[in-house]
Structure 1
């Protein structure tokens, strides 16, 4: 005769209930997190490959963050170059208009305004730092405020920028020089302004110009045009750097998308399967609970009563 132990039946039913509850909890976590597991232990043998993929993701994201910062800086530099070139071009145009009209009244006042535009361009800030400051990003690169000050200041004292140009690392093997220095951009342009101010100090630029003044201003007009072209060329170099950074960012975005898909393939849960497992585990819990409840009615003590 086979003996049946009530305690053994209870233990077996309880183990089934606990197992079903564990399966339900795991399925619920997959549904709520939409992930196969919440830590590397849950991924088993694939955890090592997953760690490598996550590391690659972080590395590329770091380069992308740097690229975004570089792109923003280059965009700000483009606007700054536009201001400096505008100062040179408008100064040239002011002289041309004055010579064409045969009167230079107010020319020096106009040139003062255009000098201010160029100076503001060279003193442009980005995220609290001077773009053309070199290593000295806390002080304004251009230290003079007027043409009179420019005339009285030695050339080396006009600019306070450092000599360290901004260098940016775009990816594992690409490092580019993205910075420009105020003195390299504006020194020759400011020299043209200085020559006019020095001439004005000896021969006031006003009224109807004589031939000597016409010849002098004509030469300065040509020099302003040359400086406009030189600054435009530097702006074009800045634009080529913008294109390069944009190209690198697009490539990195494609790499990151590919890595995201690989990681998702290993970590994302099959929601349909997870929901099915959750429903089945809940049914198993109910069944185990019913078995335990029934076992209460089949105790030997009930028969003895």
Structure 2
């Protein structure tokens, strides 16, 4: 009589049941979470690469927030510079009208108003930080004063606060840009010219009413000086516009990098639901087959007859 040995069959079918249960559990979890695994351990040798990708993605997220703030800041700066250019144009128009009409009526008010606009522009802020405040960035970089007060001073040194160097900021990996110039660099030429006009008036008489020959000659000489100041401010405003464009391009580049990286991470983390469904079906089939074999072998086991 041949002996029927069932040990190996029992072991194999039991192992098949355990494997089927494990595969079903894994497939069911993946179907529920739509993720390959719930933690990095589940990614095996890919865990290190995935962790590095996620770390870099977080850095890109932080940079996106920084760039978003810089874009908003650039808009405030552009508005301030536009106001400043309008103030210079107003002063220039006032001088041109006075020269053309040989009458200074309204000139004093135009110059005072232009200075007031510069006061506001020079001390423009974004999120509590002075736009033209250099690397220190807090407080007002320009101390406002009337033309009479400025004319009583030997110069305007006391009206400009030391703001340190121009601030720089990183916008891409290994690439930084210089933000706004400081207020003194941008606006002092105009403020000094306005002050010099009031000093001249104090010594030679106010530029109001009908202009004398000397006054007219003086006003005519101011027009090219004001044009030079205006041209200088326009050039520096163009630099600010170029910086704003660089920030805009950095936003686009950063967003593209982040989207590509997130897609790559998603490819590693996310499962193909169709593939998971196929594996779940295969695991169920494996489990059912192993369980059926185990049941058949159990009926052949002689132990039940020895009880």
TM superposition score category, shorter chain reference: 0.7 to 0.9
Cross-structure match for 1:296: none
Cross-structure match for 1:156: 157
Q: Which runs of 5+ in 2 are unaligned?
A: 296-301
On the 8 A contact 1:74/1:178 being kept in 2, the answer is no
Aligned equivalent of 1:238, options 225, 237, 240: 240
In the TM superposition, residue 238 of structure 1 has moved relative to its aligned partner by 1.1
Residues 251-290 of structure 1: matches in 2 within 5 Å?
251-278=253-280
Instruction: Give the Cα–Cα distance (whole angstroms) in 2 for the partners of residues 245 and 164 of structure 1.
Output: 20
Please, what TM-score do these two structures have when normalized by structure 1?
Answer: 0.82
Cross-structure match for 1:201: 202
Cross-structure match for 2:53: 53
Instruction: Give the Cα–Cα distance (whole angstroms) in 2 for the partners of residues 220 and 282 of structure 1.
Output: 93
Cross-structure match for 1:297: none
1:223–1:25 CA distance, 2 compared to 1 (3 A)? farther
1:186–1:281 CA distance, 2 compared to 1 (3 A)? same
3-state SS in 2 of match to 1:137: coil
Instruction: Give the Cα–Cα distance (whole angstroms) in 1 for the partners of residues 223 and 249 of structure 2.
Output: 39
Instruction: Give the Cα–Cα distance (whole angstroms) in 2 for the partners of residues 275 and 98 of structure 1.
Output: 86
Over aligned residue pairs, what C-alpha RMSD do you find? 3.5
How many positions carry a matched residue from both structures? Answer: 301
On the 8 A contact 2:102/2:216 being kept in 1, the answer is no
Cross-structure match for 1:180: 181
Please, what TM-score do these two structures have when normalized by structure 2?
Answer: 0.81
In the TM superposition, residue 101 of structure 1 has moved relative to its aligned partner by 2.9
Most deviating of 171-180 and 18-27: 18-27
1:147–1:289 CA distance, 2 compared to 1 (3 A)? farther
Q: Which runs of 5+ in 1 are unaligned?
A: 294-299
Moved over 6 A (4+): 1-5, 11-18, 282-293
